[in-house]
Structure 1
Amino acid sequence: MTAYTVRNSRGSLPLLAWLLVLAASTILLLLPSNVEAAALTTLLEPHEKSCFYAWVDKAGEKVGFYFAVQSGGTFDIDYAVHSPTEVVIIEGKKERQLDIIFTGNEVGEYSFCFENDMSTFAEKLIDFDITVESEPRLDIPISSAALLSDHSAPLEESISKMAEKLTAISRTQKYFRVRENRNYSTVKSTQSRIFWYSVIESLVMIGISVGQVYVVRMLFEKGSTKRYRV
C-alpha cells in the first residue's frame, strides 16, 4: 500500500510572497525527490508469520520502520528485517514497539516480517508503517531557480521543519494510542481478576458458613444424645 500526501495552503499573501512560493514549488517539483509510505494494520494468528515488502530503487535511501502491538497476549511480537540478499538488518524477540531508520545500501526488495510463534492461543493486532525516502538532489541546473534560491531557502527550511514536527506529532499520537490500548487491557484484566476473586471469596465464605452450621449442629446433637443416655 502506497500513500502520498499533498497539502495546499492559501491565504492573503503579498505578490512577492506568492512568487517565492511559486518558485519554491517549481524547484521542489523539478527535484528528483521521492517519498513512499505504507501505513497498515495486520492481525497475526497463533504460530503465524507474515511478511511485508518495500522496494528501494537507489542505494543510500532512508528506510523507516515503525510498529506497535495494539492488542493480544502481553503485547509482544518477534520481528526481523532482511535486505534483498537475505541479510538480517535488525531483528528482535518479544518486542512491543519499534521505531527505527536505517540506510538501504542495496537496491531491491526489503522484507519486514512478524512472527507470532510464542503464542499458543492469543492473536496479535499490529499497527506499522514503512517509509522509503530519498533526499532531494538538483540534477539539472536551473538559472531562474538559482536566482531565487536565497529567497526560497528559508521557505524550504520552514517546510522541512513543519514536516519533522508533524512526523513527531504523529509518532506521539501513535504512542499514546498504544498506551491507551495497553492500559485498557490492563483494566479489563484487573476487573476480571477482581470479579473472579469476589466469586471465589463468596463461595469460600458460604462453604465456611455451611461447615460451621454443620459442626455446631453435630456437636449439639452428640451432646444431647449423651445427656439422654445418662
Structure 2
Amino acid sequence: MARIYTHTLLTLCLSLFCLLVQGHMIDVPASKKECFFEDLHVNDKMTVTYQVGGGGHLDIDFWLTGPNGLAMGKHIKQSTGSISITAEQDGRHEFCFSNQMSTVVDKIVSFNVHGVIYVDDDDTVAPIEREIRSLATGLTAVKDEQEYIVVRERTHRNTAESTNARVKWWSVFQGVVLLAVVGWQVYYLKSFFEVKRAF
C-alpha cells in the first residue's frame, strides 16, 4: 500500500512540475513591448529566465511588477537574464519584454517561466517529496541550460553566415576593382607608348 502511495505521489508531483514550467519564444516588434501575467498567492515563487536570440545588438528591456504596480525586478538592455521573486501578496504579477529602444529592428526572445506553489515544509513532509522537489529544481536548471545552448548556437550560426556572406561579397568587390585597375593600367601604358604621327 505504501508503495502505491509513493508511486502516486511521485506521478502527481512530476505532473505538477510539468505544468509549472512553461517555455516560450516570441517576436518583439520594434518600438513595442510584450507583456504576460501570472496569478500568484502569497509565498508562491516564480522565476523568469530569458535569452535574446536575434535582432540588433541582442538586447532587450525586461521588468517584473507585482499586483500593486511596483517593480520587483528590472533589467535594461540585457541579452540574457533571470529574475526570481517570492509573492508578497495575492494577485496578478506582470512581466514585460520591451523593444521600445529600437525603432527598426525586431527582437526574438526565448523565455521560461518556472513556478513553485508554496507548501508549508513541516515535519509531515515525506523524505521522498523533498527529493522530488530537489529533482524538480535540478531538472529546471538543466532545461534552462539546454535552451540557452540552443539559442547561443542559433546566434553563432547567424553570425557565421553573415560573416561568410560579407567575406564573399568583399572578395567579389576586390576582384572587380582589381580587373578595373588592370584594365586602366593596360590602357594607360598602351597610350603612353603610342607613337604620335605628325601630318
Question: Do they fold alike, i.e. is TM over 0.5?
Answer: yes
- 1:167 corresponds in structure 2 to 140
Higher Rg of the two aligned structures? 1
Q: CA deviation at 1:37?
A: 3.8
Q: Is the 8 A contact 1:62 1:102 kept in 2?
A: yes
Structure 1 unmatched ranges of 5 or more: 1-17
Aligned to 1:7: none
Q: Work out the CA distance in 2 between the residues paired with 1:133 and 1:116.
A: 29
Name 2:130's counterpart in structure 1: 157
Q: Which residue of 1 aligns with 2:76?
A: 93
* Matched residue SS, 1:183: helix
2:153 to 160, 180, 193: 180
TM (normalized to structure 1)? Answer: 0.74
Cα displacement (A) at 1:20? 3.9
Cα 1:26/1:37, change in 2 over 3 Å: closer
Query: What SS is found at the alignment partner of 1:119?
Result: coil
Instruction: Read off the aligned partner of 1:197 and give its amino acid letter.
Output: W
Amino acid of the residue matched to residue 95 of structure 1? Q
Instruction: Output the CA distance in 2 between the equivalents of 1:129 and 1:171.
Output: 8
Q: CA deviation at 1:27?
A: 10
Provide the residue aligned with 1:79 in structure 2: 62
Letter in 2 for 1:220: F
- The Cα shift of 1:190 comes to 0.7
Match of 1:202 in 2: 175
Q: Percent identity?
A: 26
Over 3 Å counting, the alpha-carbon distance change for 1:28 and 1:38 in structure 2 is closer
Does the CA contact (< 8 Å) of 1:54 and 1:130 recur in 2?
no
What is the number of equivalent residue pairs in this alignment? Answer: 195
Name structure 2 gaps, 5 residues minimum: none
For the residue of structure 1 that corresponds to 2:20, the secondary structure is strand
Moved over 6 A (4+): none
In structure 1, the residue matched to 2:32 is: 48
In structure 2, give the amino acid aligned to 1:75: L
Check whether the contact 1:24–1:156 (CA below 8 A) recurs between aligned residues: no
Over aligned residue pairs, what C-alpha RMSD do you find?
Answer: 2.8
Native 8 Å contact 1:65 1:129 kept in 2: yes
